[in-house]
Amino acid sequence: MNQTQRQQFFSRLRAHNPAPTTELNYNSPFELLIAVILSAQATDVGVNKATDKLYPVANTPQAILDLGIAGLKSYIKTIGLFNSKAENVIKTCQQLIDKHNGQVPDNREALEALPGVGRKTANVILNTVFKHPVMAVDTHIFRLANRTGLAKGKNVREVEDRLMKVIPNEFKLDAHHWLILHGRYVCTARKPHCDQCIVTDLCDEFRRMQATSRKTA
Protein backbone atom coordinates (compact mmCIF):
# COMPACT_ATOMS: atom_id res chain seq x y z
CA MET A 1 0.00 0.00 0.00
CA ASN A 2 1.44 3.36 -0.99
CA GLN A 3 0.90 6.74 0.66
CA THR A 4 -1.82 7.84 -1.75
CA GLN A 5 -3.71 4.65 -0.98
CA ARG A 6 -3.25 5.20 2.77
CA GLN A 7 -4.82 8.63 2.37
CA GLN A 8 -7.78 7.05 0.60
CA PHE A 9 -7.95 4.27 3.20
CA PHE A 10 -8.42 6.64 6.12
CA SER A 11 -10.60 9.06 4.16
CA ARG A 12 -13.10 6.25 3.62
CA LEU A 13 -12.98 5.09 7.23
CA ARG A 14 -13.58 8.67 8.37
CA ALA A 15 -16.49 9.13 5.98
CA HIS A 16 -18.03 5.89 7.25
CA ASN A 17 -17.49 6.76 10.93
CA PRO A 18 -16.70 10.46 11.50
CA ALA A 19 -16.51 10.26 15.31
CA PRO A 20 -15.11 6.88 16.37
CA THR A 21 -14.56 6.05 20.02
CA THR A 22 -13.83 3.17 22.36
CA GLU A 23 -16.48 0.56 23.07
CA LEU A 24 -15.52 0.46 26.75
CA ASN A 25 -18.05 2.21 28.99
CA TYR A 26 -16.61 5.04 31.08
CA ASN A 27 -17.46 8.47 32.45
CA SER A 28 -14.05 9.62 33.70
CA PRO A 29 -10.36 9.13 32.92
CA PHE A 30 -10.06 6.87 35.96
CA GLU A 31 -12.95 4.67 34.85
CA LEU A 32 -11.37 4.24 31.42
CA LEU A 33 -7.97 3.46 32.95
CA ILE A 34 -9.42 0.68 35.10
CA ALA A 35 -11.49 -0.66 32.19
CA VAL A 36 -8.43 -0.84 29.93
CA ILE A 37 -6.41 -2.62 32.63
CA LEU A 38 -9.24 -5.15 32.95
CA SER A 39 -9.55 -5.55 29.16
CA ALA A 40 -6.25 -7.40 28.67
CA GLN A 41 -7.09 -10.79 27.12
CA ALA A 42 -10.78 -10.04 27.63
CA THR A 43 -13.58 -8.61 25.50
CA ASP A 44 -14.93 -5.09 25.86
CA VAL A 45 -18.39 -6.62 26.29
CA GLY A 46 -17.19 -8.71 29.22
CA VAL A 47 -15.42 -5.76 30.83
CA ASN A 48 -18.49 -3.54 30.43
CA LYS A 49 -20.69 -6.12 32.15
CA ALA A 50 -18.36 -6.03 35.15
CA THR A 51 -17.74 -2.29 35.32
CA ASP A 52 -21.42 -1.46 34.83
CA LYS A 53 -21.92 -3.07 38.25
CA LEU A 54 -18.64 -1.94 39.81
CA TYR A 55 -18.65 1.77 38.98
CA PRO A 56 -21.97 2.69 40.62
CA VAL A 57 -20.42 1.32 43.82
CA ALA A 58 -16.79 2.40 43.41
CA ASN A 59 -15.43 4.62 40.65
CA THR A 60 -12.59 6.52 42.33
CA PRO A 61 -9.22 5.29 43.58
CA GLN A 62 -10.24 5.72 47.23
CA ALA A 63 -13.61 4.04 46.73
CA ILE A 64 -11.96 0.98 45.18
CA LEU A 65 -9.40 0.86 48.00
CA ASP A 66 -12.28 1.03 50.48
CA LEU A 67 -13.93 -1.84 48.62
CA GLY A 68 -10.82 -3.93 49.17
CA ILE A 69 -9.33 -6.62 46.99
CA ALA A 70 -11.90 -9.26 47.94
CA GLY A 71 -14.73 -6.85 47.24
CA LEU A 72 -13.19 -5.83 43.93
CA LYS A 73 -12.79 -9.45 42.88
CA SER A 74 -16.48 -10.08 43.49
CA TYR A 75 -17.27 -7.60 40.71
CA ILE A 76 -14.61 -8.64 38.19
CA LYS A 77 -14.49 -12.41 38.72
CA THR A 78 -16.13 -13.02 35.33
CA ILE A 79 -13.10 -11.47 33.59
CA GLY A 80 -10.07 -13.56 32.69
CA LEU A 81 -7.02 -13.22 34.95
CA PHE A 82 -9.18 -11.39 37.48
CA ASN A 83 -6.94 -12.26 40.44
CA SER A 84 -3.83 -10.58 39.06
CA LYS A 85 -5.87 -7.75 37.59
CA ALA A 86 -7.46 -7.05 40.97
CA GLU A 87 -4.02 -6.82 42.55
CA ASN A 88 -2.85 -4.40 39.86
CA VAL A 89 -5.97 -2.25 40.18
CA ILE A 90 -5.57 -1.97 43.95
CA LYS A 91 -1.87 -1.07 43.60
CA THR A 92 -2.65 1.43 40.84
CA CYS A 93 -5.32 3.11 42.96
CA GLN A 94 -2.87 3.49 45.83
CA GLN A 95 -0.19 4.89 43.53
CA LEU A 96 -2.62 7.38 41.99
CA ILE A 97 -3.44 8.67 45.47
CA ASP A 98 0.16 8.69 46.69
CA LYS A 99 1.79 10.25 43.63
CA HIS A 100 -0.89 11.93 41.51
CA ASN A 101 -3.46 13.34 43.93
CA GLY A 102 -5.92 10.67 42.81
CA GLN A 103 -5.81 11.83 39.19
CA VAL A 104 -4.82 9.93 36.05
CA PRO A 105 -1.49 11.34 34.80
CA ASP A 106 -1.25 12.62 31.23
CA ASN A 107 2.26 11.48 30.37
CA ARG A 108 3.60 8.12 29.24
CA GLU A 109 6.29 7.69 31.89
CA ALA A 110 3.87 8.14 34.79
CA LEU A 111 1.21 5.96 33.18
CA GLU A 112 3.59 3.09 32.44
CA ALA A 113 4.81 3.23 36.05
CA LEU A 114 1.33 2.19 37.20
CA PRO A 115 0.89 -1.54 37.95
CA GLY A 116 -0.87 -3.31 35.09
CA VAL A 117 -0.24 -0.48 32.64
CA GLY A 118 2.02 -1.18 29.67
CA ARG A 119 2.69 0.76 26.51
CA LYS A 120 -0.59 -0.20 24.83
CA THR A 121 -2.74 0.79 27.80
CA ALA A 122 -0.82 4.04 28.19
CA ASN A 123 -1.40 4.81 24.52
CA VAL A 124 -5.14 4.19 24.86
CA ILE A 125 -5.35 6.65 27.75
CA LEU A 126 -3.12 9.24 26.09
CA ASN A 127 -5.15 9.03 22.89
CA THR A 128 -8.72 8.67 24.15
CA VAL A 129 -8.57 10.87 27.25
CA PHE A 130 -5.84 13.39 26.54
CA LYS A 131 -6.13 13.50 22.73
CA HIS A 132 -2.51 12.69 21.99
CA PRO A 133 -1.96 11.44 18.41
CA VAL A 134 -0.54 8.08 19.48
CA MET A 135 -1.31 4.54 18.37
CA ALA A 136 -2.24 1.64 20.65
CA VAL A 137 -1.68 -1.56 18.67
CA ASP A 138 -3.71 -4.58 19.75
CA THR A 139 -4.15 -7.94 18.05
CA HIS A 140 -6.81 -6.55 15.69
CA ILE A 141 -4.69 -3.63 14.52
CA PHE A 142 -1.57 -5.79 14.24
CA ARG A 143 -3.42 -8.24 11.99
CA LEU A 144 -5.11 -5.56 9.87
CA ALA A 145 -1.95 -3.50 9.39
CA ASN A 146 -0.01 -6.52 8.12
CA ARG A 147 -2.83 -8.01 6.06
CA THR A 148 -3.72 -4.82 4.23
CA GLY A 149 -0.15 -3.63 3.82
CA LEU A 150 -1.00 -0.46 5.74
CA ALA A 151 2.02 -0.94 8.01
CA LYS A 152 3.86 -4.24 8.09
CA GLY A 153 5.85 -5.34 11.13
CA LYS A 154 7.00 -8.48 12.95
CA ASN A 155 5.75 -7.28 16.35
CA VAL A 156 3.35 -4.72 17.77
CA ARG A 157 6.04 -2.09 18.38
CA GLU A 158 7.26 -2.31 14.78
CA VAL A 159 3.69 -1.90 13.57
CA GLU A 160 3.08 1.00 15.97
CA ASP A 161 6.21 2.83 14.84
CA ARG A 162 5.42 2.22 11.19
CA LEU A 163 1.83 3.41 11.57
CA MET A 164 2.98 6.62 13.24
CA LYS A 165 5.27 7.26 10.27
CA VAL A 166 2.81 6.54 7.48
CA ILE A 167 -0.60 7.68 8.78
CA PRO A 168 -1.32 11.18 7.46
CA ASN A 169 -1.38 13.69 10.31
CA GLU A 170 -5.02 14.62 9.81
CA PHE A 171 -6.06 11.05 10.70
CA LYS A 172 -3.69 10.23 13.56
CA LEU A 173 -5.97 11.27 16.42
CA ASP A 174 -8.76 8.85 15.46
CA ALA A 175 -6.75 6.18 13.62
CA HIS A 176 -6.59 3.81 16.60
CA HIS A 177 -10.37 3.65 16.90
CA TRP A 178 -10.98 3.30 13.16
CA LEU A 179 -8.49 0.46 12.87
CA ILE A 180 -9.58 -1.47 15.95
CA LEU A 181 -13.25 -1.31 14.95
CA HIS A 182 -12.48 -2.34 11.38
CA GLY A 183 -10.34 -5.22 12.60
CA ARG A 184 -12.90 -6.30 15.18
CA TYR A 185 -15.94 -6.36 12.90
CA VAL A 186 -14.80 -6.46 9.26
CA CYS A 187 -11.16 -7.54 8.87
CA THR A 188 -11.58 -10.42 11.32
CA ALA A 189 -8.97 -13.09 12.01
CA ARG A 190 -10.91 -15.94 10.45
CA LYS A 191 -12.98 -15.41 7.33
CA PRO A 192 -12.64 -11.62 7.02
CA HIS A 193 -15.80 -9.97 5.70
CA CYS A 194 -14.27 -8.65 2.50
CA ASP A 195 -17.74 -8.34 0.99
CA GLN A 196 -18.56 -5.72 3.64
CA CYS A 197 -15.22 -3.90 3.46
CA ILE A 198 -15.04 -0.37 2.04
CA VAL A 199 -11.29 -0.53 1.37
CA THR A 200 -10.81 -3.89 -0.38
CA ASP A 201 -9.41 -2.27 -3.52
CA LEU A 202 -6.62 -0.78 -1.38
CA CYS A 203 -5.82 -4.01 0.49
CA ASP A 204 -2.67 -5.96 -0.43
CA GLU A 205 -4.11 -9.31 0.67
CA PHE A 206 -7.38 -8.85 -1.21
CA ARG A 207 -5.54 -7.94 -4.40
CA ARG A 208 -3.33 -11.03 -4.00
CA MET A 209 -6.39 -13.23 -3.59
CA GLN A 210 -7.96 -11.73 -6.69
CA ALA A 211 -4.78 -12.27 -8.72
CA THR A 212 -4.56 -15.89 -7.55
CA SER A 213 -8.18 -16.58 -8.42
CA ARG A 214 -7.67 -15.16 -11.92
CA LYS A 215 -4.65 -17.41 -12.48
CA THR A 216 -6.55 -20.52 -11.39
CA ALA A 217 -9.72 -19.64 -13.28
Do the Cβ atoms of 147 and 161 come closer than 8 Å?
Answer: no
Do the Cβ atoms of 169 and 133 come closer than 8 Å?
Answer: yes
Catalytic residue, from 53, 98, 106, 120: name it.
120
**Would residue 120 show up in a list of annotated catalytic residues for this protein?**
yes
**Angle formed by the axes of helices 29-38 and 61-76, nearest 10°:** 30
Residue 211 CA, chain-centre distance (Å), reads 33
Do the Cβ atoms of 148 and 202 come closer than 8 Å?
Answer: yes
Q: Is the dihedral of CA 172, 177, 178, 182 positive or negative?
A: positive
**Would residue 138 show up in a list of annotated catalytic residues for this protein?**
yes
Catalytic residue, from 53, 85, 98, 138: name it.
138
> Nearest Cα to 138, choosing from 115, 116, 155?
155
> In a 3-state reduction of DSSP, which class is residue 193?
coil
Active site residues: 120, 138
